[in-house]
Each structure stands twice: as C-alpha cells, then as structure tokens.
Amino acid sequence: MQDQEKLLEVTGLSTTFHKNGQDLPALRDVSFSVGRGEVLGLVGESGSGKSVTLRSIMGLARRYGQVSGQVRWKGSDLVAMPDRVLRHIQGREIAMIFQEPMTSLNPLLTVGLQLEETLRTHTDLSRAARRDRAVEMLDLVGIPSAAQRLKDYPHQFSGGMRQRVMIAIALAANPKLLLADEPTTALDVTIQAQILDLILRLAQDMDMGVVLVTHDLGVVAQTCDAVAVMYAGRIVEQGPVRDVLRAPQHPYTVGLMRSVPENLPPRTQLYSVPGVPPALDALPPGCAFAPRCTACVEACKLDRPPMTVITDQRQVACFNPMTKSQGNAA
Amino acid sequence: MSDATFNNSMKSATFLQRALRKPGFVAGCVIIGFSVLLALFPAAFAPYDPNAIDYLAVKQPPSWAHPFGTDLLGRDSLSRVIWAYQVNMQMAIFGTVFALVTGITVGALVGYYRGVADLIFGRIVDAVITFPFLVLVIAVVAVLGPGLINMYIAISVVYWVYYARLMRAEVIAQMGNDYASAGVVMGYSDKRIIFRHLLPNAITPVIVYWMTDMALVILLGSSLGYLGLGAQPPQAEWGVLIAEGRNFISTAWWLSLMPGIAIVLTGLGFSLLGDGLADLLRPRG
C-alpha cells in the first residue's frame, strides 16, 4: 500500500470534553492516514479514544466537545468545515457504522424507509430507482428475499442481520471511506466473522478505505493493512500490520499481544496488562502508560515520549522501545 | 439493551388484542368515549333544557322526573351536568393542546441543541415549578380577567413548561441511541433528525402524560370555575355547579354531589386511559 494516494489524512487531531468545569483530554495529537482501498485498524482498550477518533473525524464529537487539528479530505479540512458543508460529505463520501446494531436503526421506521432516506439525501435517483437500489443493497449485504424485507421493521431482524442492514444503509450512496466503530463487538463469534468478511469484500469491490475500530488484535491480524495502537487518547505505535504484530516495539502493544489467548494449555491463567488505564482527568505528566509499564525508565515519568519514526512506515512513542531480542521479556 | 426487548420473532398479539385484555384501559375507553358522546350531543341525552327555570320545582331531591334533582332555580340538575360535559371536555382539549404542541417543540429543540438555549430553558423550568401551579394560573387569570378563554391562556402559558421538560429529557435519552448519531453521520439535516427520528421515538411518555394531564386540567378548570375565575354562570360547568350548591350542602346535597361525581368519573377515565396506554406503548420484553 506504500504508494497509494492518501484518501484521509489526520494530523494533530485533539478532542477535549468539558465536564464539571474540568477539561478531559479525550484525544491528543492523533495523526494517521488511510489510502484508497486500505484497511486501517485502530486498537486499544475501552476509553483509549478509538471511538472518539472516528466521531471527531465525522463531526460528531464537536457537538459536545472541542476538536482541533486537521482532517484532510480531498483537499479540504473537515474540522474547520461548517455543518452545512460537512453534510454533503457525511454519508455520501464518508460513512460510519456503529457498534450496537440494536440501537443504530430507528425502531419506528421500516428498513426500506431508512435505506430510501439515505438515497434521497445523497442521490438524484427517482422513486422507483431508489427502491431498486435499496433492494440491490440489501441483496449485496446478504439479506435473503430482500424485496420482501424492505417493509420489515428493525425488530424483525436479528442482530447480525441488523448490522448488515446498517452496512447497506451506510454504503448505499457509494462512499469512499467507511468508519466502522467496533462493528462486530456486539455480535456472536460466528456472525462476527461473516460481518467482517462482508465489510472487507465490499471495501474491495467498491475500492473503499476502511478505518476499523476494534479491541481484538486477532481481527486486526486477519483484516487490516495497517494498525494504530491507542492508549489514553494518543497513538502509541503504528505501522503496517505485519511489522507491528511481528515485532511490536511499544510495551503496551507487547502487553496487548500477550493478552490474546493463543495455543495455551487448558487452565493456564491468561495474561493481562497489570493495572488500569489512567482517568482522563488525572493523566500522569510523562508517558500515560508509565505506571503500568514493565520497561519504564526514569525519563518516562518526567516527559512524554514523542512519536519517533523507526522506518518510513513505522512509528512508536516510547523512550525504551522493545527490540526484537528483548521483546518477549516484557 | 437486551436482545429480548426487541425480540419479536414470535407472532405477537395485535395492539387491539392486547388492549382488550386490559380491563382498566377498556373501562377508561368506555368512560371517555361516553363522555365525548355527551359532550358532542348533549341535547340527545339531556331530558330537559339546562336553562329552563321552574319556580314551582325548586331544590327538589332526586326523583324519577329529575334523577339528579333540581337546583335553586328549578333547573334540572341532570341536564345541567350533561350540558357541562361540553365545557369540561372542551377544557381537557383546549387547556392542554397548546401546551402540548409548544412543549413538544421547545423540548425537542432544547434537548437536541442544548447549549445556551437549554440553560435558559432550565432557569424557566426552575422558576415555573417552584411556584405552586394553581397560584400561578390564578395570578395570570387575575391579570387577564376571568373567563374560559383567559383560563386557557393562563394554563397554556404555565403548562407548556411541564411538557417541554418531559420531552427534553426523552429526546436526550433517545440521543444516546446510535440511530441519532447515525442520522448525523448520514448527513441528514437537523430538522429531519429531530422531527422524523427523535420526536416519534421520544413522544410516547408525553402522550401518556397528556392523558393524565387532561384529568388534571378538568380538575383545575372546575376549581377555577368554583372560584369564579373560569366559566361564568349561568353556563353549566361542573365547578360552577358545585359552587352554586355549596351553601345548601346539608339541605340539597345533590346540587354539589352530582357534578362532583362527573368530575371524579371523567378524571378516573382519563387516568385509566393514560395508564393503559403507558402499558400498551411500553417496549415489550
């Protein structure tokens, strides 16, 4: 994916929420880019800022927080764009799907109406053409007897089917980028794989970039081209999936990878990174991961390690990164 | 949200079938249905002209000729109570509908946009709910002068706040659902998100409250009528009728009792209706 033109370029994205007169730095200085047809995985624990990243890109976060930095999309900056203009990009060029298929569809409108609504907002299709397109989309995401199901309500679909409908709605207007916020977390394992396959297949067919938020490294390994690991609102390590997962350098990435149960004999205690992530209103002055880090040195407690470029694709923010030889010691 | 909340794979009973299984709801429907009939066609039910004075039959106790007795001018009490349905049921509508519409709109808007408007709204709510409701309405009527129209204005001016407060809370709760965020990221206009997506999902508790509120407004309207601030005699209105009988409570008890029963019955009807509706509209598990 090296030489692909960049579709989305996020630079220094920071988001601050205000609560009880306090500033909560939910996102700090996040930078990454996604190419055409590229799949980027955003991983991290709950509260690390993965979802906030997507919501900041999509103009959702600024409704209740303060967003700064740059999100370049086709030469314009989404952060600075007024809602009125952003609306022509939302759903038409960039689409987003959510974690909870149970609540992401309006329970009172039929699936057909909700599909049609997107098409009416973003295309010039006639009424009949919209209906055809709606059937085609439902068909495309693998909903059997699509034409009959148009007049069904969301509660008449199962969780997995509902997520398929959501994907159909999101992709109806042919977006170039899909932001997927843990699209499979709420589904059971067999369905998870199907939905992921579906997203990837459609992304490939439609030549669409994908930002996939997940906390499942297994999913990242299977599906993504690049990965960015987030911790306490910052990206701590990023690069091509192969490189990052084969030789993680940030101790947090190492810890995450060790927490994936793999080839363990039964009744072995699972590894977990000790401690809990810091609260956003009580971030340590140095590296946010320092209190939990096994490779913490004095400098980590005083200063925040800057993002360092290792090779032209890989970056890590750590004073004491793991090299391959000591990688397993952590 | 549990799966069960939405699980509807088994063919469930229709709305009507479920409604018929609730005796309270059915009773409410019957009472209110009959009340509406009385209000629409009082002449068909009232045995006498409600304003026909008969000095030869003053303050007669209930009899076959006058089931509710007669008042101090010899007017038939039953006929007056029936004709009063027109006024009192009208109160239930006009006393609430403006507050309902304004409240829903304002509540949905401040709930969606929050910000400064929401803060100002919060202050208004505080100011209104700290006042005793009746005192506030009486104050407004005192300024505008007594009468039904002024009473509607007074109630609406105060009451929209209660609807708006409820609507705002519901809209905020609905916005926690992803479909609201999905509407934004699909590029839908605010108007579309508020009125097509959030409002229909948030309105159920407001409608239920409206039903109960109609009972309260009838009660309030009668109270104002009793105090001489609402409907004016000789118009037949339950509060006015009770007031007319209050000096004769020991000798002609039926004068106040019969309209009182009408108030209780109608209030009960609306309450049962609202309660049943709340049950029926609640998401099923």
pLDDT at A327 over 90: no
Give CA–CA dist B9/B7, Å, rounded.
Answer: 6
pLDDT at A89 over 80: yes
Q: What is the pLDDT of residues B160-214, one digit of tens each?
A: 999 999 999 999 999 988 899 999 999 899 999 999 999 999 998 999 999 989 9
For B204, which residue in chain A has the nearest alpha carbon? A108
* B179/A121 touch (CB, cutoff 8 Å), yes or no: no
With residue B110 as reference, give the H or E element that holds it. helix B77-113
Section A129-136 average pLDDT: 93
Cβ neighbours of B60 (radius 10 Å): 18
The proportion of chain B whose per-residue pLDDT surpasses 70, expressed as a percent, equals 94
**Which conformational region is residue A32 in: left (phi greater than 0), alpha (psi within -120 to 50 degrees), or beta?**
beta
Decide: B270 and B215 in contact? Cβ < 8 Å: yes
- Strand A234-240 vs strand A226-231: parallel, antiparallel, or unpaired? antiparallel
* A104/B178 touch (CB, cutoff 8 Å), yes or no: yes
- Is residue B3 less than 8 Å (CB to CB) from chain A? yes
User: Which amino acid is located at B79 in the chain?
Assistant: S
For B284, which residue in chain A has the nearest alpha carbon? A155
**Helix, strand or coil, per DSSP, at residue A236:** strand
Q: Is B24 exposed, middle or buried (0-12, 13-18, 19+ CB in 10 A)?
A: middle
- Is residue B232 less than 8 Å (CB to CB) from chain A? no
Q: What is the pLDDT of residues B131-164, one digit of tens each?
A: 888 888 888 888 999 888 999 999 998 889 999 9
What is the pLDDT, as a whole number, of residue A328? 45
Q: What is the pLDDT of residues B58-86, one digit of tens each?
A: 888 888 888 888 888 889 899 999 999 99
What is the pLDDT, as a whole number, of residue B107? 95
Q: What is the pLDDT of residues A50-59, one digit of tens each?
A: 999 999 999 8
What is the pLDDT, as a whole number, of residue B1? 41
* A122/B7 touch (CB, cutoff 8 Å), yes or no: no
Distance from CA of A117 to the nearest CA of B (A): 9
pLDDT at A169 over 80: yes
Section B25-51 average pLDDT: 92
Interface probe with B: pick from A102, A113, A179, A182, most Cβ of B within 10 Å: A102
pLDDT at A263 over 80: no
List of chain A residues whose C-beta atoms are within 8 Å of the C-beta of residue B201: 106-108
The proportion of chain A whose per-residue pLDDT surpasses 90, expressed as a percent, equals 51
C-alpha distances out from residue A8 to A32, A74, A131, Å: 8, 8, 31
Section A140-157 average pLDDT: 91
Count of pairs with CB atoms under 8 A, one residue in A, one in B: 82
What is the pLDDT, as a whole number, of residue A1? 43
Section B261-284 average pLDDT: 87
Describe the strand order of the beta sheet including A76-77 as a list of residue ranges. Answer: A22-35, A6-19, A65-73, A76-77
Find how far residue B191's CA is from the centre of its chain.
29
